[in-house]
Amino acid sequence: MKRFPLLLLDAGCLAAILAATPKKTVVIETTHLVKNVYGYSDITPVRITLEDGIISEIVPLENQESPDYFEEVLSSNLFKTLVGKTPREALKVKLDAVSGATFSSESIIRNIRAGLKAALDSTGIKIAADSTGHTPTTDSTVLKPAADSKGLKPEPAIR
């Protein structure tokens, strides 16, 4: 019978080890990922940031939506609801359109879902088409590791 030494760590030591471990950051932008999904005026792409496989941020990218209506989407919980979840967990969450900005928010929701499916697909898990028959595709320009998560600056939400 082999004997293995038992390593005991106190909470402070474990926290120091975890803090020193670099995080793997993946950024997914849906600008070229989702085709023919329009809000009221145009496309509504998003950037989804994953740190160690957990959603840390979802931000809208530049779009042509009306600032007044898009402000309704920005002030809703749509972008905050999925933070802290894995892509698989987030895909199970029912996201509701924002009243008063239905076209914009439904387009954002489709972009978020496509980005999350692309995140799963990039790990080798194949994703079937959604209920509309749309299957997101991925390419190396969409999924890219970020060099430094603090160096990422969200683009303006609206023009």
* Assigned CATH topology for domain 24-151: Sufe protein. Chain: A (3.90.1010)
Encode pLDDT of 88-116 as tens digits. Answer: 999 999 999 999 999 999 999 999 999 99
What mean pLDDT, rounded, does the chain reach? 75
The pTM of the whole model exceeds 0.75? no
Phi, psi of 26, deg, nearest 5: -125, 135
Domain coordinates of the chain in residue numbers? Answer: 24-151
Q: How far apart are CA 126 and CA 124, in angstroms?
A: 6
Encode pLDDT of 10-53 as tens digits. Answer: 545 444 555 555 678 899 999 988 888 999 999 999 999 999 99
